C-alpha cells in the first residue's frame, strides 16, 4: 500500500528580527480515503499550539498515488486538502 499525504507548510516571520522560519507537517491518508483521523487531529493540534503572535502563511498541498483515474485522483487530493483546511479553521 502506498502512503498518501498532505504537506502543510507554515511560514512565520518576525517583524522585529526579520527572521523567517519554515515548519513542515505531513498527514498520511489511507489509500482512497480523505477523512481526517484522530492521528491527523493530533498533528493539526500541534499547529494550533504554535506561537501565533506573528502572521502565519499556511500552504496546504494534497497528493495521491498514481493508482486509478487521473480525474478521480485530482478530486481526491482536492478533498483531502479541503478537509485539512476546514479542520484548521475549526481551531
Start-end of H helices in the chain: 38-48, 70-90
Q: Mind listing the pLDDT tens digit for each residue in 18-32?
A: 556 777 888 889 999
Q: What is the pLDDT of residue 63?
A: 84
**Beta carbons within 8 Å of 11's beta carbon, 6+ residues apart:** 20, 21, 22, 56, 57, 59
Quick check: 79 pLDDT over 80?
A: yes
What value, to the nearest 5°, has the Cα angle with vertex 34 and ends 73 and 66?
25
pLDDT for position 78? 92
> Average model confidence (pLDDT) for the chain?
78
Amino acid at each position: 500500500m502506498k502512503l498518501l499525504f498532505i504537506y502543510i507548510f507554515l511560514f512565520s516571520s518576525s517583524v522585529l528580527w526579520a527572521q523567517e522560519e519554515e515548519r513542515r507537517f505531513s498527514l498520511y491518508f489511507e489509500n482512497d480515503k480523505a477523512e481526517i483521523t484522530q492521528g491527523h487531529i493530533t498533528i493539526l493540534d500541534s499547529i494550533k499550539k504554535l506561537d501565533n503572535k506573528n502572521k502565519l502563511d499556511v500552504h496546504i498541498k494534497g497528493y495521491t498515488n498514481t493508482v486509478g483515474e487521473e480525474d478521480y485522483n485530482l478530486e481526491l487530493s482536492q478533498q483531502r486538502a479541503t478537509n485539512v483546511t476546514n479542520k484548521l479553521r475549526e481551531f
